Chain A
Amino acid sequence: MKRRGRFPWFAYLVVILGGVAMVMPFLDMVMSSFKGPGEYGVIPYKLLPSSFNLDNYREAFSQLELLRLFRNSVIVTVSVTISVLVTSSMAGYALAKLRFRGRAVIFRFILATMMLPPFLLLIPTFLIMLNWPLAGGNDILGRGGDGGLTTSLVALILPFAVSGFGIFLMRQFMVSLPDEMLEAAKIDGANQWQTWRLIVLPQTKPVAITLGLITFIGTWNEYIWTLLISSSDPSLQTLPVGIQLLQSFLDPDRTMPIVMAGLVISTLPVLVVFLLFQKYYVRGVVLSGLK
């Protein structure tokens, strides 16, 4: 490999120094999560705690109600991920393999959906959820109730249930599937639904893992919308929002270490999932860069 040249000491220096800067905050987070009362926030600063016991983790579970937050996070993340995978592969199949009037227009529309920044739709989407007809006590015109759809976990799932990026990713992948395979299925008497379900879906496994992973991590970490929806109903908090908001209820002397323990616990699931499937995630990021 010529691009490596002689011993790249300069490259090692840069990458290792940068790597320390990348890891230090996480190391500080883990170490702080073990610090006892009177150990955190004192000068001189010490990275290491005096002992590694799990007191703060126990406190995090009881004071932060981590189990409730965890349950909400899992329900929302799994629902959104499944919904995005199903709707993306259905729409992607139609756009990649079926011939119909309006296909080019719809594909261009899907591309355009990715250009609308989320913050622009924040206010109107909130108002739409609030005035959702026949939900949360609303009448058929969406009036009168208290909260509409914003009072249940549905509010955290529905606005993320379909992804323009997901449809695009699936469509790009499915275009390259051989048509002969689909023709063969048709000759064997399969209808479109069966062709999609039995022939196309199994083939899309690699791109489905990529999309599932991106969606899973994005939803698990989603902050702004959940903060907004749960501001009137704390029972809807997910892990990131709950940990951030419950800080003020904690024993002040030990607040940050307990918060850090909570954050370690909330980061672990995504970290494990990411490390297991990082090959697919990396490919997804690269694909999104080439769109």
Chain B
Amino acid sequence: MTTAVSRVGDDGMVASPARRVGKLHREGLAAYLFLSPALLFFCVFLILPFIFAIVLAFSDWGGFDLSTLKWAGFSNFGDVLSFDGTFVKPILVNTLLFAFGSVFLATFGSVLVAYCIDRLSFQGFWRVLYFLPVVATVVAIGNVWKMMYQPAGLINAVLNKLGVNSVGFLSDSSYALPAVTVVHAWASIGGAVLILTAGLKAIPEMYYEAAEVDGANSWHTFWSITLPLLRPAVLFVLITQFIGGLQSFALIIVMTGDGGPVNATNVAAFEMYQRAFKFGAWGTASAMAMVLFVIILAITLLQLWIARRRGEETS
């Protein structure tokens, strides 16, 4: 609306077509000057590395001398995806379990918490409380939870009080991945609660009033009004957190150091990091990055497709 109005205003001010072209030309020059720092940055730190990442995935190269770089075709992908290697199983499987697990826990938890907070007083206080882990550094979160998981830590103390024997959460390979998954979910609930709260506030009050007139209890109201109307926000949280979970490995470095015990907590992005910066295997590492990127890209496109379809539904 405003642009349409202003365009009429612009035209009214311009005396002749020639002057108008001159003005637009000058505006274009100014625009590109304003954009130049950003565009220059994206050329050097986005387009160039992106092309480089693709080239590396298809090449055989170690060390730092570019002249020794050789074309390797799909052999890196063959190595990475072969079933007798470690990348597909357990590492890629771990990545999916980590992402699925933490998304499931965080989404379930955040829907429950956001819905409950919406019914209380001091909503701002509660939301800030749940948001604290998002503000803290991963080093703090990782070390504190590592400490709490120790035999002499808080969690085992609570288990012992309940009559359960101590569990070596991070040293036992069957508990280690679930243990880090829980921490990742714990840390991401707060962000999801905020987004879901915005979704909850957008549900018109009259639906709740109508439900009350019809005699629905709060359980009913939640299932037949809140959840269906919250679906877009829940879907957004699900997909973005899943994408985040697939590429997250800072927590794993801090909590387990090397993805151990014996690859039990190793994930794809961490394996890529190790292969590249510990062993200098740029080609293999880049092929791993590319495999993970393709998975993430597919999910991102799915999200865009869903968003677009939803837009068509409402319009």
Interface residues of A (CB under 8 A from B): 1-5, 8, 10-12, 14-15, 18-19, 21-26, 28-29, 32, 41-45, 47, 86-88, 90-91, 93-95, 98-101, 103, 106, 109-110, 113, 115-128, 130-131, 158-159, 161-162, 164, 167, 178-180, 183, 191-193, 196, 217, 220-221, 223-224, 227-228, 231, 239-241, 243-244, 256, 259-260, 263, 266-267, 270-271, 274-275, 278, 282, 285-286, 289-290
Contact = CB atoms under 8 A, between A and B. Distances in A.
14 contacts: A29-B140, A91-B37, A121-B45, A123-B276, A179-B2, A192-B34, A223-B137, A224-B250, A263-B143, A267-B136, A271-B135, A285-B191, A289-B198, A289-B236
B45 A159 contact: yes
B100 interface: no
Interface in B24-81: 24, 27-28, 30-32, 34-35, 37-39, 41-42, 44-46, 48-50, 52-53, 56, 64, 66
B18 interface: no
B38 A192 contact: no
Contact of B129 (A23, A29, A43, A123): A23
Interface of B: 2-3, 5-6, 9-10, 13, 24, 27-28, 30-32, 34-35, 37-39, 41-42, 44-46, 48-50, 52-53, 56, 64, 66, 109, 112-113, 115-120, 124, 126-133, 135-141, 143-145, 147-148, 150-154, 156-157, 186, 189-191, 194-195, 197-198, 205, 208-209, 212, 218, 233, 236-237, 240, 243, 247, 249-250, 253-254, 269, 272-273, 276-277, 282, 285-286, 289-290, 292-293, 296-297, 300
A119 B139 contact: no
A94 B247 contact: no
Contacts of A126: 276-277
B41 A128 contact: no
B42 A113 contact: yes
Nearest to B46: A113
Contacts of B157: 43-45
A47 B112 contact: no
Nearest to A89: B34
Contacts of B24: 99-100
Given A11-B117, A289-B240, 10 more contacts: A14-B112, A23-B129, A28-B144, A100-B28, A100-B32, A123-B272, A162-B37, A221-B137, A274-B135, A289-B237
Given A3-B118, A5-B119, A119-B289, A87 B277 contact: no
Contact of B46 (A29, A100, A121, A193): A121
Contacts of B35: 90-91, 94-95, 106
The 10 closest A-B pairs by CB, nearest first: A45-B157, A124-B52, A124-B49, A100-B28, A179-B6, A11-B116, A289-B195, A94-B34, A192-B30, A162-B41
Contacts of A122: 272-273, 276, 289
A119 B286 CA distance: 10
Contacts of A43: 151-152, 157
Nearest to A123: B276
A172 to B, nearest CB: 14
A252 to B, nearest CB: 15
A22 B269 contact: no
Contacts, number: 291
Contacts of A87: 37-38, 41
A103 to B, nearest CB: 7
Give the one of B34, B53, B141, B296 with max A CB within 10 A: B34
A19 B133 CA distance: 11
Nearest to A19: B129
Contacts of B189: 18, 22
Contact of A263 (B39, B44, B128, B140): B140
Contacts of B253: 223-224, 227
B117 to A, nearest CB: 6
